[in-house]
Structure 1
């Protein structure tokens, strides 16, 4: 199977940490995880981002997006919405939409915020919208996961979340880690089932 794409944007590292934990869950379920990010949006109109980041994870390519067998999409909260860099990326995916490259593939979302009530759930809901327009099969995080009942930090049925603290350096709590792993495993399991269904004879 093609890899599961873990696509995130992160400035202080909290969302990146979640991406790696979700990737670990994908690989625990027996599929390959491909971790990618998107460039920042420049504040200066004449400034260009380098084609390859100087440090950290590579920028996602259109081919990687088209060919993935599933997608986990992550962004920090920005006033209850996804970060502008991630929104800008999805605004440029018309060709993938026209060709239905992502239709029928499973997807989930994840986010982090500095405070407990920093807009996590609305951010997760906003991130679902482009995925639904692309025809992806959205999967949440069911309450059959015990950590979703027990968490006093992040975690929602719309997707895993993390309370990063004002400085953005709070470590993932035990429950947040458990939910990240669970979400990665669930995404991989459903990707495998959908792939098998699509190749089964009629």
Structure 2
């Protein structure tokens, strides 16, 4: 990674969280000197012996733990699973003890984002649960301030804890204009903060 890479790490099943990640990356790269490094995590299996290829068939490359060391900031996204992050994302963080012991993320800014199938499907609790391992890693958590007018007008998603999206039951609802603007604003805010902290 270059000196000013910000890691955008997500897991997505139907594509909505992936699209939020892309929009956050767009916001990051709107800041001169900031680069978004988009990564995902492999799926997990109920069959203990099953493993996924080390190279994704399509889409973003899989994250490596060295990405945590190299980034100057982190945007973390997952769909909601009963008010919590999805198992593949939790599995990745469960394996990050070496990075925790080495202080790889201490003092770096982070934000979180999510997508849900129902309006009251646990968006904010998912954002909060994603913050917990990041706080253990010593990261500086960032939300979305109400100076972003879309927080007050969005009827499909959005939270001061981080951008959200209501994908509906089939997971196919498009990102709303308000959600898109909030995602870009969140990425821009993260990038500006990360660059100030590394100056």
Query: Paired residue for 2:42?
Result: 39
Q: State the 1:119 CA deviation.
A: 0.3
Structure 2: give runs of 5+ residues left out of the alignment.
Answer: none
Query: Paired residue for 2:149?
Result: 146
Does the residue aligned with 2:165 lie in a helix, a strand or coil?
A: strand
Query: Paired residue for 1:158?
Result: 161
Q: Does 1:86 align with 2:89?
A: yes
Q: Does 1:193 align with 2:183?
A: no
8 A contact 2:109–2:193 mirrored in 1: yes
Q: State the 1:2 CA deviation.
A: 2.7
Q: Deviations over 1:40-61 (max 9, x none)?
A: 0112111111111111110011
Distance 2:92 2:57 in 1: 19
Aligned length: 196
Q: Deviations over 1:83-122 (max 9, x none)?
A: 0000000000000000101000000000000111110000
List, as ranges, runs of 4+ consecutive aligned residues in structure 1 with deviation greater than 3 Å.
none
Query: Paired residue for 1:199?
Result: none
Distance 1:45 1:4 in 2: 33
Does the residue aligned with 2:152 lie in a helix, a strand or coil?
A: helix
Structure 1: give runs of 5+ residues left out of the alignment.
Answer: 197-202
What is the aligned-residue RMSD (CA, Å)?
0.6
Tell me whether 40-49 or 120-129 shows the greater mean CA deviation: 40-49
Structure-to-structure mapping, 1:1-202, within 5 angstroms: 1-30=3-32, 31-196=34-199
Q: State the 1:162 CA deviation.
A: 0.2
Distance 2:77 2:38 in 1: 11
Q: Deviations over 1:6-26 (max 9, x none)?
A: 000001000000000000000
Does the residue aligned with 1:182 lie in a helix, a strand or coil?
A: helix
8 A contact 2:4–2:195 mirrored in 1: no
Instruction: Normalising by structure 1, report the TM-score.
Output: 0.96
Does the residue aligned with 2:78 lie in a helix, a strand or coil?
A: strand
Distance 1:63 1:135 in 2: 17
Q: Deviations over 1:20-78 (max 9, x none)?
A: 00000000112100000001011211111111111111001111121101000000000
Distance 2:49 2:97 in 1: 24
Distance 2:51 2:152 in 1: 45
Instruction: Normalising by structure 2, report the TM-score.
Output: 0.97
